[in-house]
């Protein structure tokens, strides 16, 4: 039902209107999922279940968080959000953007080039309009797999990150070696080879770590494992890279 409703609304309403209406429509939809078994760790609402999406992800009916957003939120609040830091978030998830914008103890900026996300500014990740060592914390979640010149993007992330800063990176991962082929251009081919029409590669964890190292990053690999019915609807298996200079 949710997937069908979303498809219809996206066809008849511009994204900017949907973004504005979302905080008013979701609380109504949430009433059908209210319960005690699960809980979204971002909006704190208790649920009888999460919404199952077509890609097998789980979505919070109240705030719209997906599993990786909830994991990121948990990580940010347990370790990385501190007073008086500057944060740059590439293509932020809407519920994280809305919550971090309310945090007056930090300087938070969301950036998106595509127009598909709520943001404050538009930055090209391969040519970032910012001075060197500007940000204490950079969130680069599911971005690099879209970027043809990812090495240039990594160098830019390294340039604008402060010496004692943190860059949190996640992409889809595969076993074995990183797979990319610049000759694969069409939507159909990219779906077949990379899993999504706007992806240009699939990293291996080792491959991404090595590529980041060549750009001056030291990457710590965090692996998470959960049971299928964990309370907060995290992914069963998830990998995140914590990068420093």
pLDDT in tens, 180-193: 999 999 999 999 99
Q: Same domain, yes or no, for 28 and 126?
A: no
Number of domains in the chain: 2
- Is the pTM higher than 0.85? The answer reads yes
Q: Which of 37, 59, 81 is the last residue of a domain?
A: 59
pLDDT above 70 coverage of the chain, percent = 93
Q: Is the pLDDT of residue 165 over 60?
A: yes
Domain co-membership, 77 together with 46:
no
On whether both 15 and 54 belong to a single domain, the answer is yes
Choose the final residue of a domain: 43, 59, 75.
59
Q: Are 101 and 140 within one domain?
A: yes
* Residues 134 and 36 grouped into a single domain: no
Statement: residue 78 has pLDDT above 90: yes
Give Cα separations from 86 to 12, 63, 164, 214 (angstroms).
37, 25, 12, 25
Lowest-confidence range among 12-16, 124-128, 149-153? 12-16
68: Cβ contacts below 8 Å, ≥ 6 apart: 141, 142, 170, 235, 238
Res 154 pLDDT > 80: yes
The number of C-alpha atoms within 13 Å of 14 and in the hemisphere containing its C-beta is 4
Name the average pLDDT for the chain.
93
Residue 208 and residue 127 share a domain = yes
* Same domain, yes or no: 23 and 127: no
Structural domain of residue 219, as residue ranges? 67-244
| CATH number, residue 234 | 3.40.50.150
């Amino acid at each position: 039902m949710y997937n069908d409703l979303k498809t219809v609304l996206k066809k008849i309403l511009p994204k900017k209107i949907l973004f504005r209406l979302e905080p008013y429509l979701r609380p109504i939809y949430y009433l059908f999922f209210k319960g005690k078994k699960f809980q979204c760790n971002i909006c704190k609402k208790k649920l009888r279940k999460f919404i199952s999406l077509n890609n097998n992800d789980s979505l919070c009916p109240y705030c719209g968080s997906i599993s990786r957003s909830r994991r990121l939120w948990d990580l940010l609040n347990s370790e990385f959000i501190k007073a008086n830091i500057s944060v740059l978030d590439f293509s932020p998830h809407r519920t994280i953007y809305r919550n971090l914008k309310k945090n007056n103890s930090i300087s938070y900026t969301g950036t998106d080039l595509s127009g598909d996300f709520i943001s404050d500014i538009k930055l090209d990740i391969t040519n970032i309009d910012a001075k060197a060592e500007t940000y204490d914390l950079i969130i680069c979640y599911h971005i690099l797999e879209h970027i043809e010149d990812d090495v240039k993007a990594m160098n830019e992330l390294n340039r604008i990150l402060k010496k004692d800063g943190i860059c949190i990176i996640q992409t889809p991962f595969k076993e074995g070696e990183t797979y990319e082929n610049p000759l694969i251009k069409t939507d159909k081919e990219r779906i077949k080879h990379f899993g999504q029409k706007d992806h240009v590669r699939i990293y291996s964890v080792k491959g991404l770590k090595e590529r980041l190292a060549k750009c001056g990053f030291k990457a710590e690999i965090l692996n998470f494992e959960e049971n299928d019915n964990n309370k907060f609807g995290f992914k069963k298996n998830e990998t995140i890279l914590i990068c420093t200079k």
